[in-house]
Structure formats: C-alpha cells, structure tokens
Amino acid sequence: MANNNPIANQENLHFFGDVCKNFDYAAQFTHHDAGLLDQIKSCNSVYRFRFPIRKGDGFEVIDAWRVEHSQHQSPTKGGIRYSEMVNEDEVMALAALMTYKCAIVNVPFGGAKGGIRINPKNYTVQELENITRRYTVELIKKNFIGPSIDVPAPDYGSGEREMSWIADTYATMNPGQLDAMGCVTGKPIALQGIQGRREATGRGVAIAVRECVSVVEDMKKIGLQPGINGKRVIVQGLGNVGFHTAKFLAEFGAVIVGLCEFEGAIYNEDGLDVESVFQHRKETGSILGYKGAKKEFTNSHLGLEQDCDILVPAALENQITAANINNIKAKIIAEGANGPTSPEAESVFYSKGGLIIPDMYANAGGVTVSYFEWLKNLSHVAFGRMNRRFEETANTNLVNMVEGITGVALSPLQRSTIIKGASELELVNSGLEDTMIRSYHEIRETFKNTEKIDTLRTAAFVGAINKIAVSYKNLGVWP
Ligand code: GLU
C-alpha cells in the first residue's frame, strides 16, 4: 500500500533539524539561559499511534501522529496533515513552527501538529470518515485533544469536512461539555465555524506581501519600486493557501504571471486569471492546456524559475534549495507553505540581495482566524451580534444630526456606507489585517535595529523566543 512506502518515510528527515538550526542561530541574539532555550526548542510530547480501518474486503493499518511541541501556553494548536509523505520528523518540525508562529502573531497558544499517513485520494468518503473519527478517538484516549488541551485544525489534505467529523466525535464522547465545539477549528459555518476562516491563510499571505512591498526604504535596498500595484507574482500551489493568496494579491493590484502545480506550470507576463485557471484545472485535471498561458512547462519546477518580482511557494516544504536557488529570478520569496526554503538557499538568496518573508509569519493568518473561531466557540456568541444594531442606531443618529445641521443630504449609498455596523466577516478580516500588519513591523523593527541579524526569519525567531521565554517565566517554571 502507498502509505507503507519506506522510501516516502526516508525523505526530508532534516526538516525538524532545519527548524532547530534556525532557532539556534537566532538564539545567539537573545540572552536566555541555555536550559530555557533547550526547553523552548524541544518537542514536549510526541504521540505516534497506529489503528486499523476496514478497507475493501480486508483491513489496513494507518500510521498517525500528534505532536505537542510546547505547552508554554494552553491549548496547543495546529493542523492535521493528511499525506502519504508525512513522517515523524515533519510533524515535529511543523509543530515547532506552530509554536513560533503563534508567538509571532500574539496568539496565546502553544504549537502542535498532527499527521495521518494516507493519500486521501485513495480512500472513499466513508473510509476517510472512519479514519478521522478513529484518529480523534485515539487522541481523546490519551488526552491529546480538547478546547483547553490541544485544538487541531485543517492542514494539507484536510478541510472543513474532516474538522466537522472531529468536532462531532469529540462532542459525542464528551456529553454535556459546554465548550466541546472549541476542540477543533476550521469547522463549517453551520457547525460553529467562523466566517473568513477558509480564505484566512491566503488573505494573510497577501497582506504580508502588500505590507512588505509598501516599505519604501526596504524596496529601495532590493531594487523594487514600492507598492503592490503591478508587482509580478508567481505562486506555487493552487490549494487553499495558494489559490487565495493569488486571488487576494490580484485584488490588491499585483499581476499573477505564473502558477505551478504538481503536473506542470503556466506563465503569461501579461497576467493569468486565477479563478479561470482554477476552473480549468478542476475541469481537465491539469493546469496545463490553459488557453490564457503563453508558456507552459511539464517540469513544474521550471515555473518557479521564470521572471517575476515575488515568488510565493504555497505547496510543501523543501521546494527552494541549493539546487535551484541560483535560478530563482524573484526579489522576494513569501513563504505561504511551511519550510519551503532550505537554510542554505536562504543565505544564498539574501547574499544576492533578496528578501524572504518567513513562513511562521507569512502563513500565520490561518491560526489567527482559528483563534477568533475558538474565542467564538468559548463565548457562544457570533462576533458583531451584541453591537451591530447598536452601532447602526448610533451612526444613524449622528448622520441625521449632521444632515440637519448642515442641510446637506447624503445619497442612500453614502448613508448606508457610514451607518452600517460591522458583520462577523468584517470583524474577522479587520482583526486579521491588523495582526498581519502589526506583526510585520514588529519583526522588521528587530531586523533593522539589531546589528548582525541578517534575515527576517532570524528576527521573527528572536521575537518569538523572547515572548515564549516570558511565558515560561510567568508560569514560574523558570526563575
Ligand atoms: N494548519 C494551519 C497552519 O499551519 C492552521 C493551524 C490552525 O489553524 O490551528 O498554520
């Protein structure tokens, strides 16, 4: 069976090591006790388990993991990856990145990650439901899930459907638990999910890029005109993150010149219509053959090497390495995926005058909106429910008064724009935008003001390490 493929399990077993390498490098710019740094860096709990499911006429044993990297804040948080390539090293690395990610965007969670080693395409919906429910039961048995313990979410290969199975299994096995729905985020709206969660990661990446290119001083250094308008972007991955990143960047005024997927890549310097490429791929099963493309490549990696200003790897880890970094034309790499750039490639890229917006900041929009969903679940009230009408009434009174005093009547559109109270989606998007913008400048300040910090990633790590150290000290765990 594909999921027992030993080759798949041997690949990329340096991902957690790479994260630790980046951590160690950043740690020298902090002043913490070596023991405390070690505590921050280590994976606290690694739960590896196997369970059988019925498949066809027989059974199959499924390999699965849940890693809780750090409990300096509770609950721990992170998605569940459904992939036949998943291995323990990868889940540990991704859990660690969640810890730093949450600290960077000031989301009060520790980091965690889950993995189920299957290719979802090889399973029926019924089998996927059985796998997901059994996975959840195994987590419940070991106290590895709960609104105050560890809260999973979607990741590569999973989505709202899987989250609803998890929520239902958890609620069924914890009857009467008032906050049961806060055991998982990324749920469908009908099952106490939140507006805007599905597109949150991509929207966050797009905001991060827009903020980065808006800083005149930094753009001057790397030889780009400031501003998102007209920036030429290549996106790798048309999944949830890549698709939404491309869509929002185009909305902000960038030109999507290239799109890459497993089967190949397409390019058009005048721009590609993301929505219609997505539809084309859905209908034909391939990104290739899209009529709006001027060039196409059956070797997907060639797509990354085409002319552009910004490259957004939004698929999987280890895509930009020493092997291809010298062919990359972009000036900015914005990491939509986790771990797409190897440490070696990163230092070459910076030495050539490039800039990398690091994963643990760039793709933190997902967990940020997950935090809002969790808050909604614990408070049992949708955002905006208490204040929307109050705001509208207050705004109406104000507009009426101003119209009365000035004698100027606003048009119906002007009136409704001013009066309208915020909806849940607007509040979520505003919280997300604020988080991404503030966090970018926090990282940038560290980058700019600390001598010898040479990458935004190191600056992001330094900020995260300092915040986590404070949490440990506040817990009284460290003197
Ligand atoms: N899987 C996403 C990530 O890597 C989301 C995690 C979450 O929402 O908890 O950030």
Sorted by sequence, the CB contacts under 8 Å of residue 389 that are 6+ apart come out as 421
pLDDT at 254: 98
Q: What tens digit of pLDDT does each residue of 352-379 get?
A: 999 999 999 999 999 999 999 999 999 9
Write out residues with Cβ below 6 Å of ligand 1.
77-79, 153, 155, 185, 338, 363, 366-367, 370
Q: What tens digit of pLDDT does each residue of 300-358 get?
A: 999 999 999 999 999 988 999 999 999 999 999 999 999 999 999 999 999 999 999 99
Distance CA 9, CA 473 (A): 38
Instruction: Check residue 146 and report its DSSP letter.
Output: B
Which whole number is the average pLDDT over 110-126?
A: 97
Equal fold, 43-190 vs 200-362: yes
Domain 43-190 CATH superfamily: Leucine Dehydrogenase, chain A, domain 1 (3.40.50.10860)
Choice from 67, 166, 240, 367 to test ligand 1 binding pocket (greatest atom count within 8 A of CB): 367
CB 259 within 8 A of CB 248: no
pLDDT at 230: 98
Instruction: Check residue 122 and report its DSSP letter.
Output: G
Which whole number is the average pLDDT over 414-421?
A: 95
Distance CA 291, CA 266 (A): 10
pLDDT at 7: 32
pLDDT at 358: 98
Alpha carbon 139 to its chain's center: 23
Alpha carbon 50 to its chain's center: 27
From the CA of 102, how far away is ligand 1's center (Å)?
10
> Is residue 278 pLDDT above 50, yes or no?
yes
> Is residue 406 pLDDT above 70, yes or no?
yes
CB 34 within 8 A of CB 116: no
pTM: 0.94
The residues spanned by each domain of the chain are: 43-190, 200-362, 385-420
From the CA of 154, how far away is ligand 1's center (Å)?
6
Do strands 45-55 and 58-68 pair parallel, antiparallel, or not at all (unpaired)? antiparallel
Which whole number is the average pLDDT over 184-192?
A: 97
Which atom of ligand 1 is nearest to 155's Cα?
1
Distance CA 152, CA 328 (A): 35
Helices 365-379 and 88-104, axial angle in degrees (round to 10): 70
Q: What tens digit of pLDDT does each residue of 243-275 get?
A: 999 999 999 999 999 999 999 999 999 999 999
- 112 three-class SS: strand
Domain 200-362 CATH superfamily: NAD(P)-binding Rossmann-like Domain (3.40.50.720)
Phi, psi for 69 (deg, rounded to 5): -75, -45
**Which of 14-18, 44-48, 437-441 shows the lowest per-residue confidence on average (mean pLDDT)?**
14-18
Which whole number is the average pLDDT over 167-190?
A: 98
Q: What tens digit of pLDDT does each residue of 437-453 get?
A: 999 999 999 999 998 99
- 2 three-class SS: helix
From the CA of 413, how far away is ligand 1's center (Å)?
38
Q: Strands, E, within 119-217: which ranges?
A: 150-154
- 257 three-class SS: strand
Which whole number is the average pLDDT over 22-47?
A: 96
Q: Annotated catalytic sites, by residue?
A: 113
Alpha carbon 14 to its chain's center: 21
**Which of 3-12, 85-94, 167-176 shows the lowest per-residue confidence on average (mean pLDDT)?**
3-12
Distance CA 466, CA 377 (A): 30
Band of the pLDDT at 127, cuts 50, 70, 90?
very high
pLDDT at 11: 54
> Is residue 2 pLDDT above 80, yes or no?
no
Q: What tens digit of pLDDT does each residue of 68-98 get?
A: 999 999 999 999 999 999 999 999 999 999 9
> Is residue 395 pLDDT above 90, yes or no?
yes
> Is residue 10 pLDDT above 80, yes or no?
no
From the CA of 394, how far away is ligand 1's center (Å)?
38
Choice from 92, 163, 370 to test ligand 1 binding pocket (greatest atom count within 8 A of CB): 370
Percentage of the chain lying above the pLDDT 90 cut: 94
Tell me whether residue 243 is exposed, middle or buried, using C-beta atoms within 10 angstroms of its C-beta: 0 to 12, 13 to 18, 19 or more: buried
Nearest CA-CA partner of 184 in 163, 156, 165: 163
Structure-token match 């990354």, residue found: 304
Give the C-alpha distances (Å, rounded to integers) separating 261 from 175, 191, 201.
43, 32, 18
Mean pLDDT of the chain: 95
- Over its C-alpha atoms, the chain yields an Rg (Å, rounded) of 23
The amino acid at residue 390 is: F
Per the DSSP assignment, residues forming a β-bridge with 51 are: 62
Band of the pLDDT at 5, cuts 50, 70, 90?
very low
Q: Token digits for 17?
A: 């090591």
